């Protein structure tokens, strides 16, 4: 049987640090699997992830709306809608929306058995509040 989800039917996670929202379509909580984590992300104007890396996790972004920058040890790269970004496991990175436009993208991580290490930010960067008031903490 196929699982069909509409984003409005799924829990929205709002970052404790303002400016980021996510909706997972694939997660342990929703599908009982931990081989992958996938969903959509929205960044407000100027919002960004912390500079971080994921141990044991390949990471993909597909930019749907808005421009962005990706920061890696190689520098900062401008990206636009239609761009796919691949971040290998343990590659340091940060995604940032520009100050004048929001960002909307699809995110995929595999496997969903990883640990995130923040290099520039705080532990709150990994804390997300569910719309119903529960807290979800990224590992």
Instruction: Flag whether pLDDT at 133 surpasses 60.
Output: no
pLDDT digits (tens, 9 = 90+) for 57-84: 999 999 999 999 999 999 999 999 999 9
* HEC per residue, 88-105: CCCCCEEEECCCCCCEEE
The architecture in CATH of the region 26-127 reads Sandwich (2.60)
pLDDT digits (tens, 9 = 90+) for 3-44: 777 778 788 889 999 999 999 888 777 777 778 889 999 999
Domain layout of the chain by residue ranges: 26-127
User: What's the pTM value of the predicted model, to 2 decimals?
Assistant: 0.89
CA distance 95 to 134: 26
Query: For position 27, what pLDDT does the model report?
Result: 79
Buried b (16+ CB within 10 A) or exposed e, 12-48: bbbbebebbbbbbbbbeeeeeeeeebbbbbbbeeebb
**How many Cα neighbours within 13 Å face the side chain of 73?**
8
CA distance 27 to 52: 21
Query: For position 42, what pLDDT does the model report?
Result: 97
């Amino acid at each position: 049987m196929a699982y069909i989800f509409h984003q409005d039917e799924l829990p929205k996670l709002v970052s404790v640090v303002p400016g980021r929202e996510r909706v997972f379509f694939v997660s342990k909580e929703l599908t009982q699997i931990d081989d992958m984590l996938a969903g959509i992300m929205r960044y407000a104007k100027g919002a960004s992830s912390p500079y971080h890396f994921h141990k044991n996790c390949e990471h993909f972004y597909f930019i749907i709306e808005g421009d962005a920058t990706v920061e890696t040890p190689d520098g900062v790269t401008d990206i636009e809608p239609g761009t796919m970004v691949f971040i290998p496991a343990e590659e340091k990175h940060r995604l940032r929306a520009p100050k004048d436009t929001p960002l909307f993208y699809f995110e995929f991580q595999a496997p969903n058995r990883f640990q995130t290490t923040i290099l520039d930010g705080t532990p709150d960067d990994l804390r997300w509040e569910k719309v119903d008031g529960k807290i979800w903490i990224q590992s």
